[in-house]
Amino acid sequence: MQRLRGKVALVTGAARGIGAACARALASEGASVWVTDILDDLAAAVAREIGPSARHAHLDVRDETQWSSVIDRITSASGGLDVLLNNAGVTGFDPPDGPQDPEHASLDSWRQVHAVNSDGTFLGCKHAIRVMKPPTGRGGSIINVSSRSGLVGIAGAAAYASSKAAIRNHTKSVALYCAQQHYGIRCNSIHPGAILTPMWDAMLGDGPERAEAIAEIAEGVPLGRMGKPEDVAHLVVYLASDESGYMTGSELTLDGGILAGWEAQPQGRS
C-alpha cells in the first residue's frame, strides 16, 4: 500500500544525504517529489534516479524570491503542495568558515549558518502556508529538520546549535498559528543525531583515521552505531502521511538514544 499516493512533496537540500534519502522514500510511497538544492547536477541526478514521479528545481533556501517562484511553479505544474521537508542545512565547518565556538566565531559566519538553517526554514514555512491553506490549498504537513543540537548546547558549533534551536521553536509557532487559523496544516520538527552523511566529511576526513573516528562516535551512541539517512526517511514518511494526522508542534528525536540519558549517571549497586 502506498501511504502517500496523490501527495505532492517538496524537499530542500535533497541532492545528497538525508534529503536525498527522504526524497526517495517519499516517492516510493507514492508521492510526487520535487528535489531541490543549490547543487543542481547532484539534485537532478537524484530526481532522474527516482524516475517520472520526481522533478528537480534549483532552490537556494536563503532567497525569498526563489521560494516564491519554485512554490508557484510546483502548484501550477503539480496541482498543489501537500508536504514540505525543510531539510537544507549547514554546520559552519566547511572552509573558510573558521572557528564556531562562542568566543571565536565571526559574526559573518554566525549569520551565514542562520541564513540557511533558520531563515531558510522560516521562508519555507511562510511560502508553504500560502499555498497549502484553504480555500485554494488542501492543508498539508510541514516537517522541519532541526537536530539534537537544537535541544542541547554544542561548545564548538554555537551558530549551528542556535539556528537549530530556532527551528525547534518556530515549528511550534507555525503549528499553533495554523491550528488557530483552521488551515489543516501540521508542522513538526525532527531532531536527528549522528547520521552518517557528507555533512560529517569536514569532521571525519577521508584518510585512514575516518573509520576510527566513526567507531569512536558509535561508542557514544547507546544503540552502538551512527544513524543512516534511511532511518530519518522512515520518520519523515510517517510525518508526511495522514497517519500522523493528530500530531502537530511535536519534536521527535532520532539519535540512537544519545539524548535519553546522561553520561555521569549514578550506577546502581548490585
Nearer to ligand NAD, 85 or 137 (CB): 85
Distances (CA, A) of 37 to 75, 157, 188, 263: 18, 23, 21, 38
Distances (CA, A) of 2 to 44, 78, 94, 194, 234: 24, 18, 39, 29, 13
Tell me, by CB under 6 A, how many residues bind ligand NAD.
Answer: 28
In the complex, least distance from residue 178 CB atom to ligand NAD, rounded to whole angstroms: 22
- Tell me the C-alpha to C-alpha distance, in Å, between residue 159 and each of 69, 90, 134, 193: 29, 10, 36, 17
CB-nearer residue toward ligand NAD: 12 or 162? 12
Amino acid occupying residue 132:
M
Cβ-based nearer residue to ligand NAD, 147 or 241: 147
Binding mask 183-222 for ligand NAD (x = CB under 6 A): ---------xxxx-xxx-----------------------
Structural contact between residues 164 and 86, judged by C-beta atoms closer than 8 angstroms: no
Instruction: Give 227's strand partners.
Output: 195
Find the shortest distance in angstroms from Cβ 46 to ligand NAD: 9
Among 4, 10, 31, 38, binds ligand NAD (CB under 6 A): 38
Structural contact between residues 187 and 249, judged by C-beta atoms closer than 8 angstroms: yes
The only residue of 116, 142, 185, 236 in contact with ligand NAD, by rule CB under 6 A: 116
Sign of the CA dihedral 141, 92, 225, 18? positive
The binding track of 145-184 with respect to ligand NAD, each residue x by CB under 6 A or -, is x-x-------------------------------------
22 binds ligand NAD (CB under 6 A): no
37 binds ligand NAD (CB under 6 A): yes
18 binds ligand NAD (CB under 6 A): yes
Least distance (Å) from ligand NAD to the CB of residue 14? 7
- DSSP class of residue 110 equals H
246 catalytically annotated: no
Q: How far apart are CA 123 and CA 121, in angstroms?
A: 5
Rounded to a whole number of angstroms, the minimum distance from the CB of residue 190 to ligand NAD is: 8
Quick one: 84 or 133, whose CB is closer to ligand NAD?
84
- Copy the grid coordinates of residue 58: 534549483
Helix, strand, coil percent content, the chain, rounded in steps of 5: 45, 15, 40
Active site residues: 160
List interacting residues with ligand NAD (CB under 6 A): 12-13, 15-19, 37-39, 59-62, 87-90, 116, 145, 147, 192-195, 197-199
